Structure 1
Amino acid sequence: MMLRAGSDTADRVVRAGLCSGCGLCASLAGGQMEVAESGYNRPAPAPPVSPATDRLIAAACPGSVVAPWHDAPIVDPLWGPCRQVLTGHSADEELRHQASSGGALSALLLLALDTGRIDHVIQVTADPDRPTRNIIKISRSREEIVEASGSRYAASSPLERIMDLARGEGRAAFVGKPCDASALRLLCNSDKDLRERIPLVLSFFCAGIPSDSGVRGILREMQIAESDLKEFRYRGLGWPGQARARTHDGRIAEMSYERSWGEYLAREVQFRCKICPDAVGGVADVACGDAWYGSEKGYPVFKEEQGRSLVITRTAVGDELIDAALRSGYLNASQLPIEDLILMQPSQARRKSVVGARMAALRATRHPAPLVDGLEVKAAAEQASLWQRGRNFLGTIWRVTRGKV
């Protein structure tokens, strides 16, 4: 019998609508990922794996379990473990402009590479054959890191070949979504060699993974056929930057971030992302995001500015890296009171506060749900009103009973 990635666990996770598309199961099973009819990455069917391999998948798959947060001076229910909280940007102005939110994450990668902390970076970049989609990239130079910078609001599976890539020569930094970082951390619990070969894990604040149908809507409004695309950027070249399409014959079309995300991409985010208990990269060494300027109404302002990154160190490794980046001039940044985070990332705060209600709805309908112990889900729920919790509880029940997961 053919199962997703040959795994009972992966098959159940996909059928329950809990797959994040990270690619972990495919790597462990020696399989591959594919773009499903839904427009999300899913493990391809394969012959059954051994019980031991299925246990490894079950212990790390983000649709099965999410890695718990570790201790830190502050463990905030919304923002996770915090050792340092900063705002700043890459000292390299080209990188600051090219990247999506100040280039801090890319600056840290450059520092780690230049100083020999790592030999290469495992990350994703645009697929040259399908520019709206993503592929895994091994970056070994400044040029490659700069080329891969910028947000990619499309399905990505950076763990799809992690076992093979990590067995190569040298030590790597890994950059992935919070769910990717969770899966990697849990896998490293049972693989000391993997842990030593990937000494640095970076992540970012994530608003969820949209289906392919989202970017197709953007292209329709731009009146550009996907087959004509030479390049597609979701953001970057400024902050927040424009969604930007360039065709083989030189035509260029742009759409504001506020419209491309708000009117197209956000509406196509997969269900697993809607119940994510850690969308802020809580188990990474360092997590970065947009340090949005807030309006009087409490919402971010998306007018074009010079890029500004939010940076949170989660571990001693992250602390050391940030301190080195500040000393050596790779990063310009200053400390930020943690109380200011909600002004910069209000949507992350709102979403985390209702995850508990959404998970309760899954339990009430006896729908499968990932284990989320050690992620302060109950404490975060206290910051949502009774009306907000009830609305999200009932809305999730509606989704489940109508098969919209």
Structure 2
Amino acid sequence: MKPPSPTIARVLAADLCSGCGLCAGLSSGAIAMTTQEPGFARPIQQRPISRGAEARIAGCCPGSKVAPWRSGGRRHPFWGPWQSTVTGAASDPVVRYAGASGGALSALLIHALERKLVDRVLHVEADPARPTGNRMRWSTTRKEVLAGAGSRYAASSPLAAIDQALGEGGRFAFVGKPCDVSALRQLERYDSRVATAVPLMFSFFCGGLPSSAGADEIVRAMGLAPDEITAFRYRGQGWPGLTVASTADGRSGEMSYADSWGRHLSRQVQFRCKICPDAVGGAADIACADAWYGDAAGYPTFEEQDGRSLIMSRTTVGEALLRSAQEAGAIQAAPLAIADVERMQPAQAQRKRMIIARTTAVRACLQPVPVMRNLDVVTAARSARLYDAGHNLLGTMRRVLQRRWRNRWRASPQERTA
């Protein structure tokens, strides 16, 4: 048997996997995605892959290489390329209420379907077999899109069947995490079907992917057991919306977004997310986010209110869709100065400033990081405070070394001395 994929081996050894599933989708069944402790999607290679598949994986895997931002036009070191930046919401109150913020992403998907720009949408929904987890679904109607509305802070591998999806014909919109869109965008260089079959790619500002252990923590904090949950909503049905769990016998629990994310989920985020140079979906046609209102100190508040979305069109295709949706009355929006985005997303700005410090720490520990060319990480770092950069550098080194020693002592005696 040929040795395992060197790209996958390197990415897994350095804890750089995002769980997107692209390697499985390009392997003709040789690689499968599985859930591994503490609850992330990870690939397992079951048989050899071809040289061509290895080359595509190496060139597309977001743990190996991150898609560069488009050159030319307007670009911001934190927020990426942009055609227009607006705040607004779905005009339909049902869509607005169902969405995690203002329902803008759902409204844009519905508009694309109704205008026949795409035949279907590939996106995430709750997994009935494990309600805190996710599965992928195809949607062709407004009702189906709304069935998957709302944020899902759990592992998903939307590209695990991408070759099959591209081979089925028709055009579809893709909705995924920034790393998922990065992988699919890079696949365009190897597979001409992508540009034709996927005319619209959507993403969102991502705070990082928590493990399923984080959701289980929330359920237990509600006084329930993870294995008895029959329905689970992370957010939505309001803004930001409550985290709600229920059981078959009618018991339920709820928690505020500030507590579910701040006290549980954010502490379970995978390592790859902590060094992500493009958590804002810069490779997408359109990226959406929460247009948080700030308190007196400028920090976002999470009080329940009518949802409001931040919408950034990044390509001419995305801009045309946004304008069409506004003209049709599907989206109500007002322009936003690019300088004002940081007031709504201060954590994303600070994260981008720290990427150089964090990746420097990883390299100092003799571990690889993904290729991050043309993503403005150096420009962003110039606005970082020296104290913050030093704190992040040391904290990242400690995290990497702790993981190394943890893995070493979990290994067999023979592996420890190898």
TM range (shorter): over 0.9
What is the rounded CA distance, in whole Å, between the counterparts of 1:335 and 1:32 in structure 2?
44
* 1:177 alignment partner in structure 2: 177
TM-score (norm 2): 0.94
1:2-401 alignment runs, 5 A limit:
6-29=4-27, 30=29, 31-401=31-401
What is the rounded CA distance, in whole Å, between the counterparts of 1:399 and 1:293 in structure 2?
33
Q: Secondary structure at 1:287's aligned position in 2? A: strand
User: Could you tell me how far 1:402 is from its partner in structure 2?
Assistant: 2.1
What is the rounded CA distance, in whole Å, between the counterparts of 2:2 and 2:333 in structure 1?
51
What is the rounded CA distance, in whole Å, between the counterparts of 1:51 and 1:356 in structure 2?
33
What is the rounded CA distance, in whole Å, between the counterparts of 1:260 and 1:72 in structure 2?
40
What is the rounded CA distance, in whole Å, between the counterparts of 1:249 and 1:115 in structure 2?
43
Q: State the AA in 2 paired with 1:320.
A: A
Q: Secondary structure at 2:284's aligned position in 1? A: coil
Q: State the AA in 2 paired with 1:209.
A: L
Q: Secondary structure at 2:403's aligned position in 1? A: coil
User: Could you tell me how far 1:50 is from its partner in structure 2?
Assistant: 1.3
Q: State the AA in 2 paired with 1:250.
A: G
User: Could you tell me how far 1:136 is from its partner in structure 2?
Assistant: 0.9
Deviation per CA, 1:347-380, whole angstroms, max 9, x where unpaired? Answer: 0001110011111112222211100000000000
Contact 2:295/2:301 (<8 A) preserved: yes
What is the rounded CA distance, in whole Å, between the counterparts of 1:215 and 1:365 in structure 2?
31
Q: State the AA in 2 paired with 1:51.
A: R
User: Could you tell me how far 1:296 is from its partner in structure 2?
Assistant: 1.5
Q: Secondary structure at 2:235's aligned position in 1? A: coil
Q: State the AA in 1 paired with 2:25.
A: S
CA RMSD of aligned residues (A): 1.3
TM-score (norm 1): 0.97
What is the rounded CA distance, in whole Å, between the counterparts of 2:245 and 2:38 in structure 1?
23
Q: State the AA in 2 paired with 1:164.
A: Q
User: Could you tell me how far 1:200 is from its partner in structure 2?
Assistant: 0.5
Contact 2:201/2:286 (<8 A) preserved: yes
Q: Secondary structure at 1:126's aligned position in 2? A: strand
Q: State the AA in 1 paired with 2:372.
A: V
User: Could you tell me how far 1:72 is from its partner in structure 2?
Assistant: 4.8
What is the rounded CA distance, in whole Å, between the counterparts of 2:2 and 2:287 in structure 1?
38
User: Unpaired segments of 5 or more residues in structure 2?
Assistant: 408-418
User: Unpaired segments of 5 or more residues in structure 1?
Assistant: none
Contact 1:166/1:172 (<8 A) preserved: no
Identity in percent = 50
Count of residues in Structure 1 that have an aligned counterpart in Structure 2: 403
User: Could you tell me how far 1:152 is from its partner in structure 2?
Assistant: 0.1
Contact 2:159/2:180 (<8 A) preserved: yes
Structure 1 window deviating more from structure 2 (129-138 vs 161-170): it is: 161-170
